[in-house]
Amino acid sequence: MIDIQNVVHSKYGYNQFEMFLMVLITGITNFVVIPAIIIIKKQRMDFQFYISIFTLITSFMYHTLESVDCQYFIIEESGWHRLDNIGSIACFQMLFTQLSDLQNLHLETMLNYFGLFVTFIAQARSPWDLNYTVGPIIIQACICLYIIIKRRRLPKLNKQKMKKGLIILLAAVVFFSLSQDEYKDYLRFYHGMWHTTVGLFSFYIWQSKCEVEFTWQNFYTIPTLKESYYKEE
């Protein structure tokens, strides 16, 4: 009689139980970002909110299908992977506009859409080439740096939130580097920790321009903010 639990089912050579664990580690960990998404929504950042939701869904779908070795659900697994790449790149681009402290909502919105436009083209050109993944992020960072220099004003950010976020980001970078060889990263544990730490990092960074104190205890009870920090400079 065949022991189904120990039969190899995936490209990684995992049995059914290991595949289930991989779903938890790489799929479910995406939901750690939900508190940050709630904070984004309560600051009335509509573009950032919908891109974050898009990235959460596509990342969850891609990693879940990969974990259970399923090649198709609505679209192919590789399609979910490409959409996940687009969302992830866009999130980092939005992060740079956030940290630039652009007090002109129109300018910030235009920059975010421009970044998304560049990302679409880059990922259509070569979704698995690291240059076309990092490139759009670097372009966005350079544009934001140019704006900061031109306006001659440093970003006014919450130092305490920034400090907590950057400490977590250091851990995220370590986990990301450890996760690059997917066949040596057992159950994609390090990649799951990358998801977790990015979610925690986002919780602090996305309130870096907000005077309201969101905490892990109150973030879901604080009402949507009425005042905007955009001054149309």
Using pLDDT thresholds of 50, 70 and 90, give the confidence band for residue 204. Answer: very high
Q: Is residue 145 part of a domain?
A: yes
Rg of the chain, C-alpha, whole Å: 19
For 136, the 3-state DSSP assignment is helix
Tokens standing for residue 186: 């057992």
Total count of domains within the chain: 1
Using pLDDT thresholds of 50, 70 and 90, give the confidence band for residue 164. Answer: very high
Percentage of the chain exceeding pLDDT 90: 65
Q: Is the pLDDT of residue 163 over 50?
A: yes
Q: Is residue 2 part of a domain?
A: no
Q: Is residue 85 part of a domain?
A: yes
pLDDT (average), residues 49-62: 97
Query: Which residues face 73 on adjacent strands?
Result: 75
Q: Is residue 147 part of a domain?
A: yes
Higher pLDDT, 158 or 7: 158
Q: Is residue 4 part of a domain?
A: no
Please report the pLDDT score of residue 233 as a whole number.
54
Check: CB of residue 14 under 8 Å from CB of residue 25.
no
Q: Is residue 113 part of a domain?
A: yes
The whole model's pTM is what?
Answer: 0.88
Burial (Cβ within 10 Å: 0-12, 13-18, ≥19) of residue 51? buried
Q: Is residue 63 part of a domain?
A: yes
Place of tokens 């955009």: 230
Q: Is the pLDDT of residue 5 over 90?
A: no
Domain that holds residue 42: 13-157
Q: Is the pLDDT of residue 65 over 50?
A: yes
Q: Is the pLDDT of residue 202 over 90?
A: yes
Q: Is residue 201 part of a domain?
A: no
Backbone angles phi, psi at 72, to 5 degrees: -150, 130
Q: Is the pLDDT of residue 1 over 70?
A: no
Place of tokens 């879940």: 64
